[in-house]
Amino acid sequence: MKNTRESTFIRLHQAFEAAVLLIVMFGALSWINANPRPVSFEQLLQMNLQLRHVLIAVMSATIWHWFLRAFGAYRPVQYHSAGRTAATVIGAAALAAVVIFVLLAIGAPTLAHYKWLSTVFGITIAISLMVRLTATLASGATPLGEKRVLIAGTGAAARRLAEHFRHDETGYLHTIVGFVGGSPGEVHNEVSHAEECKVLGHLGDLESILMREVVDEVYIGMAAKESFKEIEQTLAICERVGIECRFSPDVFCEGTNTAIEWHGTRPFVARRPVNIQAHELLVKRAVDVALSAFAILVFAPLMLLIALAIKATSNGPVLFVQERFGLHKRLFKMLKFRTMVVDAEAQQAALEKNNEASGPVFKIKQDPRVTPLGRVLRKTSLDELPQLFNVLLGDMSLVGPRPLPRRDVSKFSDAWLMRRFSVKPGLTCLWQVSGRSNTSFDHWIAQDLEYIDRWSFRLDLEILMRTVPAVVRGSGAM
């Protein structure tokens, strides 16, 4: 019943908020474009309906709604503090505002009005926060206050739970009643370093402990691979006594990449190969779209000149289009300015014996298939400029492991190499700014995996900034 009721509130919440966002955005847009001076509500209703305003309002409301969902603003009601809820809404709204403004500046510059954006930004944040407060109260969530919790377990997982409650941000005061498990005497020595709480007894004593102590929730601090029967016993006792029992995803597998994901009203434990949250992926995609669109506009004259030069110096198409492996091994057509003769791929089989690269990749420093203009384009990396369109279309990102062709991937012999496909391929990456084509295959893959493990916006920015001098120097380019 609780899940069904919560799901109904979530749907009503989303529908109501989407409708309000649409009305606010259209009203503000009509007001700003029709009459920049303050007007009354009656005058606003009398304004002429313009199709472009409707379309922009729908687009903006959709983007805003999409960002709120990506930031987790529509997840089932949790015990979040007002500050945390406000941070989520404001963060999503701010990012959505930037994306909307960039899209309007590119597609409809006359409508990219800061007054409209600032008006909508303020009003929609206020409405979103009020809607969330109403939804939280209507869902029957427990008001903020003290929660007395009992931790089932005494090892490292139990100590991590105790440490988590010390830095809790949900708005509740979590008081740890004690620990349950193992031998009372020896267990106390183990957990006392992390928490000044006594061990109340064995897991076999849990039922009697819950009968005599005031406990709101029981948290499981044990690993399933070592204590599966004990976890089953704890869950059964809590259900019998009527106490809510909780456990975190690392009960099944330890690691920072484990999380809970919601599919409709059903939760699943997700073990991600990359520690990137949904809203971080959204931010990364927004940056990709904005910067690639800007770069295409800036480099359009240069790309036109390169295309004319290729046509004038050699026969064949301007672009070289090749299938490469992208995210989750999905094939896409990668674009490059053609730097080789037309039948270059057909000649590769005969040149395999001259391959100078280690591992499954194919590289020759003095490749006879490269045209004179192609050598210049490769040295300066200008042949990669058309991949900005791949980034804009979503096949690639600005930063990520370089996409590999069928031939190279078919020669992979170790399954762990497939991990590089857990993120989108990029226009530039760690190995390119560290040595580019001078890097051995093993070092190349090691740096790709290092990027995946260390990913952050700061690392992406660092790689982008280091790419420019690496390209100017032409270090390691072929």
Would you say 250 and 225 are in contact if contact means Cβ atoms under 8 Å apart?
no
* Pairwise pLDDT comparison (61 vs 215), residue with the higher score: 215
pLDDT tens sequence across 4-53? 444 555 566 566 666 666 666 666 555 555 554 544 545 444 444 455 66
Is residue 270 classed as helix, strand or coil in its secondary structure? Answer: strand
Smallest CA-to-CA distance from 40 within 58, 27, 23 is with 27
Torsional sign, CA 176, 178, 180, 183: positive
Q: How far is CA 309 from CA 204, 298, 366, 370, 472, in A?
A: 81, 19, 22, 15, 21
Per-residue pLDDT averaged across 187-191, rounded?
46
Distance CA 77, CA 96 (A): 23
The fraction of the chain above a pLDDT of 70, given in percent, is 68
For residues 453 and 465, the answer to whether their CB atoms sit within 8 Å is no
| Phi, psi for residue 464 in degrees, rounded to 5 | -60, -40
CA-to-CA separations, 127 to 39, 47, 63, 70, in angstroms, rounded: 21, 23, 16, 18
What pLDDT, on a 0 to 100 scale, did the predictor assign at position 436? 54
List 336's β-bridge partners, or say none. Answer: 320
**Nearest Cα to Cα of residue 400 among 419, 386, 416:** 419
Q: Select from 146, 31, 128, 133 the least CA-distant residue to 82.
A: 133
Comparing 175 with 108, the larger pLDDT belongs to 175
* Highest-scoring range by mean pLDDT, 127-141, 205-219, 384-398, 428-442: 384-398
Which pLDDT band holds residue 359 (cuts at 50, 70, 90)? low
Contact 140, 6 (CB under 8 A): no
Residues 6 or more apart whose Cβ sits within 8 Å of residue 3: 76, 265
Angle at 268 between CA 263 and CA 272, to 5 degrees: 105
Min mean pLDDT across 72-86, 362-376, 420-434 is at: 72-86
Mention every residue, 6+ apart, whose C-beta is less than 8 A from residue 253.
271
Torsion angle (degrees, nearest 10) of CA 92, 96, 98, 103: 170
How far is Cα 456 from Cα 240, in angstroms, rounded to an integer?
Answer: 45
- The count of residues in the chain is 478
Place 189 in a pLDDT band, splitting at 50, 70 and 90.
very low
Domain boundaries for CATH 3.40.50.720 within the chain: 146-271
pLDDT at 307 over 90: yes
Looking only at the bridges linking them, the beta strands covering 258-263 and 266-271 are antiparallel
Q: In the predicted model, what is the mean pLDDT of the chain?
A: 75
Backbone angles phi, psi at 270, to 5 degrees: -110, 130
Each residue's pLDDT tens digit, 423-442? 999 999 887 777 555 566 77
Residue 176's nearest CA partner among 190, 193, 196, 192 is 196
Q: Which amino acid is at 464?
A: L
Q: How confident is the model at residue 185 (pLDDT cuts 50, 70, 90)?
A: very low
Whole-number Å distance between alpha carbons of 437 and 431: 8
Asked whether residue 316 carries a pLDDT value surpassing 70, the answer given is: yes
* CATH number, span 146-271: 3.40.50.720
Selection from 212, 199, 90, 102 nearest residue 152 by Cα:
199
The residue among 224 and 315 whose pLDDT is bigger is: 315
